[in-house]
Amino acid sequence: MSYTLTVAAKAPVVAYPALIAAQFVNAQSQDAVKIEFVDEKAVDKASAKLTKGDETVVDGEILTKLASAFPKALTGAETAQEWIKFGAEELTIKDFKKLATSLEKLDSHLNYRSFIVGYKPSLADVAVWGSLRSNGMVGSIIKNQVYINVSRWYTLLESDKKFSGVAELLQKSVADLKKQAKVKPDGKKEGHKANFDIDLQDAVDGQVVTRFPPEPSGYLHIGHAKAAILNQYFAQQYHGKLIIRFDDTNPSKEKTEFQDSILEDLELLGIKGDKITYSSDYFDHMYDLAVKLIKEGKAYADDTPLEKMRQERMDGIPSERRERTVEENLKIFTEEMKNGTEEGLKNCIRAKISFDNPNKALRDPVIYRTNLTPHHRTGSEWKMYPTYDFCVPIVDSLEGVTHSLRTIEYRDRNPQYEWFLKALNIRKVHIWDFARVNFVRTLLSKRKLQWMVDKGLVSNWDDPRFPTVRGVRRRGMTVEGLRNFVISQGPSKNIINLDWSIIWAANKKVIDPIAPRHTAVVEPVKVHIVDGPSKPTIEKKPKHKKNPEVGEKDVIYASDILIDQEDADSLEDGEELTLMDWGNVIVTKLVKEGDHVKSIEVKLNLDGDFRKTKHKVTWLADTEDKVEVDLVDFDHLITKDKLDEGDDFENFLTPKTEFHTAGVADVNVKSFKVGDIIQFERKGYYRLDKQAENGKPAVFFTIPDGKTVSKYGAKK
Ligand SMILES: *[C@@H]1O[C@H](CO)[C@@H](O)[C@H](O)[C@H]1NC(C)=O
Ligand SMILES: *[C@@H]1O[C@H](CO)[C@@H](O)[C@H](O)[C@H]1NC(C)=O
């Protein structure tokens, strides 16, 4: 196992001595010390730390540690201690007078000496030189030869890359860290070193072009969201461009309305392409390229019946039509298929790659098909359309895409993609594979989701139980939470069935510091404060105790208040309890009916110590200002984590997936807008889905926080 040296790039005194020491070690045994920078003022409260396994040392100890582990690389450890101390304490100071005294000392020591100890650079030189290098005031002193021996010694060591190279190393890493920080989707700087390492091959800053190519045939779901976000991420990271391309090559499936909904979905993800394009814009071009392939004998027309073609492909048997002449192929393509004749409809065009390649994706894939359905953009101009396999490499290449992100299910088809680029002699595009995300207990299939909509099991495609972008956003997922999640999953190439709690926990990190705190009471029980305020009074209180920027809210204090039934039932006569953000009260009367408390009387004891009470209770003034609310929670649609092949999803539907709790909330709710995310204290996070109107309560959806367990077992 090697050592890792982590250096705080923004430390007031950068750990140059440790960096130089690491260079010495690495010069002798390559990569023995891995060097990392963080864009912070400190690591573990020090300017640097050295770790190996679970052993960690910081600052000055790093030198001693490395010297004892690599005595050949770093000599003179015995005598270096005082110099390490001298460097750290007396040379890093910024007070000119004190610094002058230290430098005089060093200058006289270096009289008649080339190095601090002995006849070659040793650990003492590393410590002292590094300390001087980290002191911004020293540069000009050295240059002006104020302390001539120090200058001589300093310049001598500087000619050694092991010394001078560290500044460059730091500069480069700072630039890298800045670049990484820029990547943060919301423009905020990332506080710590990114914990993932996703780079694109041969990416040139400013020249990267990525694309997100949805088919306009449905709504985007969480799987698409990953692709869209990753494409945007890379475009931003490399200061390049993102193309949104509608892959509209199949008129039987596509509709204009889906095109609009996809753009809306992208907006919900905070994604706006630099350009919106359509594969159909390139129909002419693709036609010409198909003609070219046919003329060069690299494609042929095939009218083998579908089933037979499939079987031949499976068995690696060449089609009987494989050796048709160029003339015959051309005629079928440019006349029969193009005109959509009966003969044309029987045929398709296949690339002549191989009939028996072990990779079945290379067994003469179909590149053009006849289809008489009018296209939503080109109408009846075309009667045949390129397939996805043919279209994508060509349009990627034509549009200047530099990096094509594809999910790993396409991995078998990557050689095919490359074959087309080569056969057509068009610009090369890099392919970057990533794993799609799957979540437990849901369905992504368009057909199955449509079935649920049709059966009325969910309200629509934006139902909060749906894995659609609309659905999860409506449930309370933030753009930032989603992005953080996707980017953290970015480089993973394993398709795994993720627990929803992972993505909701990422979301909670985003909303918790900014969600205003409010009060809601369910199954309210009346509490009368006998010596409470004679009439209701309003006070301004912070919406978030730890984050004043969130603003203030109105809190009404009144002698009649409401508390949750559950809280009421936990109280005892004579008990002292705390009303949160008000003070202590003592129960003077408790009226019970059966097991439940029906009403309570208390008297104030505002001098009471809240640390001594057992119950701290949320309360709400029982005035006309309170707002009726409907708190809605949801469960997963499916009762099984992952449906197996052959499972009929209809047998695994969760019987009940929607739960309503009526309650009342504080007056501030009236000013909320749909989409606002808040916390009802001691209850959880909620998103306002619908304001109160026509006597109906305001509807809030519970936002999962990754911790709650659903009725049917899975975390959410
Ligand atoms: C060190 O500096 C002193 C003057 O500060 C000078 O007399 C002496 O020659 C220097 N020594 C060397 C080795 O250059
Ligand atoms: C296809 O259409 C073109 C132009 O409309 C026509 O000249 C040609 O004869 C047609 N070919 C066939 C085979 O129908």
- Which tops the pLDDT comparison, 254 or 252? 252
φ and ψ at residue 45, rounded to 5 degrees: 65, 10
Q: For the residues 124-140, what does the mean pLDDT come to?
A: 89
Q: Whose CA is nearest to atom 2 of ligand 1?
A: 149
Q: Are 520 and 263 in contact (CB under 8 A)?
A: no
pLDDT in the model for residue 143: 78
Provide the pLDDT for residue 9: 87
473 is catalytic: no
pLDDT in tens, 404-417: 999 888 889 999 99
- pLDDT confidence bin for 178, thresholds 50/70/90: low
Q: What would the mean pLDDT of 440-456 be, rounded to a whole number?
A: 88
Domains of the chain, CATH where assigned: 3-174 (1.20.1050.130)
Question: Residue 646: its pLDDT value, please?
Answer: 85
H-helix or E-strand spanning residue 236? helix 222-237
149 lines ligand 1 (CB under 6 A): yes
Distance 390 CA to ligand 2 centre (A): 25
Axis-axis angle for helices 77-86, 123-134 (nearest 10) = 20
Lowest mean pLDDT segment, chosen from 6-20, 481-495, 544-558, 627-641:
481-495
- Give me the amino acid identity at 611: R
Among 333, 339, 346, 382, name the best residue to mutate to test ligand 2's pocket (greatest count of ligand atoms within 8 A of Cβ): 339
Q: Which of 87-91, 483-487, 526-530, 657-661 has the lowest mean pLDDT?
A: 483-487
> Counting Cβ atoms within 10 Å, is residue 552 exposed (0-12), middle (13-18) or buried (19+)?
middle
For residue 694, the model assigns a pLDDT of: 92
305-314, 528-537, 632-641, range with the lowest pLDDT: 632-641
Segments in 274-305 forming alpha helices (H): 283-295
113 in active site: no
| pLDDT in the model for residue 186 | 44
Other Cβ atoms closer than 10 A to 414? 17
Q: Which residue has the higher pLDDT, 186 or 345?
A: 345
Cβ–ligand 1 distance for 145 under 6 Å, the answer no
Mean pLDDT (whole number) for 547-572: 95
Closest CA to 133 of 87, 171, 100, 101: 87
**What is the average pLDDT score of the chain?**
90
- Ligand at minimal distance from the CA of 341 is 2
pLDDT level of residue 429 (50, 70, 90 thresholds): very high
Which tokens belong to 211?
A: 């694309």
Give the residue ranges of DSSP H helices in 87-201: 96-109, 123-134, 138-143, 148-158, 161-183
For 117, the token pair is: 């100890």
**CA dist., res. 445 & res. 514, Å (int):** 35
Q: Does the C-beta of 103 come closer than 6 Å to ligand 1?
A: no
Model confidence at 192: pLDDT above 50: no
583: region left, alpha or beta (phi > 0 left; psi from -120 to 50 alpha): left
Q: How far apart are CA 106 and CA 151, in angstroms?
A: 11
pLDDT at position 180: 61
Sequence-distant (≥ 6) Cβ neighbours of residue 667 within 8 angstroms: 554, 556, 625, 626, 627
Question: Per-residue pLDDT averaged across 161-184, rounded?
Answer: 74
Contacts of 286 (CB under 8 A, 6+ apart): 386, 390, 391, 394, 395
Count of all residues that appear for the chain in the document = 716
pTM to 2 decimal places: 0.68
- Which run of H or of E encompasses 258? helix 256-268
In this predicted structure, the answer to whether residue 190 has a pLDDT above a threshold of 70 is no
* C-beta separation of 577 from 585 below 8 A: yes
How far is residue 472's CA from residue 506's CA, in Å, rounded to a whole number? Answer: 13
Q: What is the pLDDT of residue 184?
A: 44
Q: Is 606 in the pocket of ligand 1 (CB under 6 A)?
A: no
The mean pLDDT value for 366-372 works out to: 97
**Ligand 2: centre distance to CA 335 (Å):** 6
* CA 55 – CA 119 distance, rounded (Å): 33
CA 301 – CA 322 distance, rounded (Å): 8
Most confident range, picked from 209-218, 226-235, 514-523 = 514-523
Looking up tokens 């009346």 gives 526
Alpha carbon distance, N-terminus to C-terminus of the chain:
39
Residue 75 has pLDDT above 60, yes or no: yes
Q: How far is the CA of 382 from the centre of ligand 2 (A)?
A: 13
* pLDDT recorded at residue 195: 35
**Inter-residue contact 532 to 579 (CB < 8 Å):** no
The phi and psi torsions of 40 (rounded to 5 degrees) equal: -140, 165
Distance (Å, whole) CA 245 – CA 227 = 13
Residue with the bigger pLDDT between 114 and 180: it is: 114
**Does 140 have pLDDT greater than 90?**
no
Q: What is residue 191's predicted lDDT score, i.e. its pLDDT?
A: 34
For the segment 63-89, the average pLDDT, to the nearest whole number, is 92
Under the banding of pLDDT at 50, 70 and 90, the label for residue 319 is very high
Residue 446 falls in the annotated catalytic set: yes
The DSSP line for 32-90 is: SEEEEEESSS-BTTBSEEEEETTEEEETHHHHHHHHHH-TTTS--HHHHHHHHHHIIII
The per-residue pLDDT for 179 is: 65
Let me know if 58 is exposed, middle or buried by CB neighbors in 10 A (0-12, 13-18, 19+). buried
Which residue has the CA at smallest separation from atom 7 of ligand 2? 335
Answer yes or no: are the C-beta atoms of 343 and 356 closer than 8 Å. Answer: no
308: three-class secondary structure by DSSP: helix
What pLDDT does 713 receive? Answer: 67
pLDDT for residue 18 is more than 70:
yes
Q: The dihedral of CA 396, 398, 399, 400: what is its sign? A: positive
**What pLDDT does 393 receive?**
97
Q: Report the pLDDT averaged over residues 625-641.
A: 93
148 Cβ inside 6 Å of ligand 1:
yes
C-beta 341 within 6 A of ligand 2: yes
Q: What is the mean pLDDT of residues 344-358?
A: 97
**Number of the ligand closest to the Cα of 340:** 2
Q: How far apart are CA 553 and CA 439, in angstroms?
A: 38
Mutate to test the pocket of ligand 1, among 149, 150, 151 (most ligand atoms within 8 A of CB): 149
Q: How confident is the model at residue 19 (pLDDT cuts 50, 70, 90)?
A: very high
Residue 521 confidence (pLDDT): 98
Q: Say what the pLDDT of residue 491 is.
A: 64
Of 119-128, 165-174, 280-289, 602-611, which range is least confident?
Answer: 165-174
**Residue 170 pLDDT class (50, 70, 90 cuts):** confident
Report the nearest-CA residue for atom 4 of ligand 1.
Answer: 148
Proximal ligand: closest to the CA of 109 = 1
Tokens of 566: 């559950």
Q: What are phi and psi of 326, to 5 degrees?
A: -55, -40
Predicted confidence (pLDDT) at residue 459 exceeds the cutoff of 50 = yes
Residue 497 has pLDDT above 80, yes or no: no
Given a contact cutoff of 8 angstroms between Cβ atoms, the answer to whether 601 and 589 are in contact is yes
The answer to whether residue 187 scores a pLDDT higher than 50 is no
Q: Which position among 49, 162, 215, 480 bears the catalytic label?
A: 215
